[in-house]
Chain A
Amino acid sequence: DTAVSQTPKYLVTQMGNDKSIKCEQNLGHDTMYWYKQDSKKFLKIMFSYNNKELIINETVPNRFSPKSPDKAHLNLHINSLELGDSAVYFCASSHLGTLYTQYFGPGTRLTVL
């Protein structure tokens, strides 16, 4: 059983397109996260949702919009993709207040051409 799953694993698209990455967790966690790992290998948090409510919103272009239809899902929509959006995006989940047990998904490698 996959604890935190992401789809797709790879995404290649043209500049200017709109794309989505889906994340699902079956751990019963109440908090989910999106991280971006850029070409310099920095792993930086983008957003966090607790019980479908946004609790962390780092300085991210408003072309990025997270959507949490329920506690088990946190999707990432990206509009008007740019070359600099190319990165690996990781979803994670945990129980609020237990940040040391963040479980990460396998990542989605996004390449913008």
Chain B
Amino acid sequence: DQQVKQNSPSLSVQEGRISILNCDYTNSMFDYFLWYKKYPAEGPTFLISISSIKDKNEDGRFTVFLNKSAKHLSLHIVPSQPGDSAVYFCAAAANFGNEKLTFGTGTRLTIIP
């Protein structure tokens, strides 16, 4: 049962434009959401997170939006840079403090110079 879904396996965006990565979840118990970034031959690295009491969290060029009613979140990267080319994983947890993260299958983002 895939509780966290990233339906776009890949995305290509022109450098300088906005990249939008999407994630849907089915478990209504999830209340904390994270985005991880992964380069080849490396482990995932934490990028940005949001709790269910918020609908937006911003950190520099990265903004995560949460729509609880739609069980949907998205990551916006503005402006996109070549170094942003990587696989992005969405993850979710139920009950903040619960250490178990449920991951999506990732979206490969390619920034075209």
Give complex CA distance A33, B44 in Å: 13
Give complex CA distance A33, B45 in Å: 14
Q: Are B105 and A100 in contact (CB-based, < 8 A)?
A: no
Give complex CA distance A41, B36 in Å: 14
Pick from B34, B45, B103: contact of A43, CB under 8 Å: B103
* B49 interface contact, C-beta 8 A: yes
Pick from A42, A50, A102: contact of B101, CB under 8 Å: A102
* B69 interface contact, C-beta 8 A: no
Q: Are B43 and A107 in contact (CB-based, < 8 A)?
A: yes
Q: Are A100 and B46 in contact (CB-based, < 8 A)?
A: yes
| Nearest CB of B to A51, in Å | 13
* B30 interface contact, C-beta 8 A: no
Contacts of B44 in A (CB 8 A): 43, 90, 104
Q: Are B43 and A104 in contact (CB-based, < 8 A)?
A: yes
* A61 interface contact, C-beta 8 A: no
* B41 interface contact, C-beta 8 A: yes
Q: Are A42 and B43 in contact (CB-based, < 8 A)?
A: no
Q: Are B99 and A90 in contact (CB-based, < 8 A)?
A: no
Contacts of A83 in B (CB 8 A): none
Could you tell me which A residues sit within 8 Å of B by CB distance?
Answer: 4, 31, 33, 40-45, 48, 50, 55-56, 90, 92, 94, 96-97, 99-107
Could you tell me which B residues sit within 8 Å of A by CB distance?
Answer: 2, 32, 34, 36, 41-46, 49, 89, 93, 97-103, 105-106
8 contacts between A and B (CB under 8 A): A43-B106, A56-B100, A99-B93, A102-B46, A103-B43, A103-B46, A104-B45, A106-B43
Beyond the given A43-B106, A56-B100, please list 20 additional residue pairs across the A-B interface where CB-CB is below 8 A: A33-B99, A40-B105, A41-B106, A44-B103, A45-B100, A45-B101, A50-B99, A55-B99, A94-B99, A96-B99, A99-B34, A99-B98, A101-B46, A103-B43, A104-B44, A104-B45, A105-B43, A106-B41, A106-B42, A107-B41
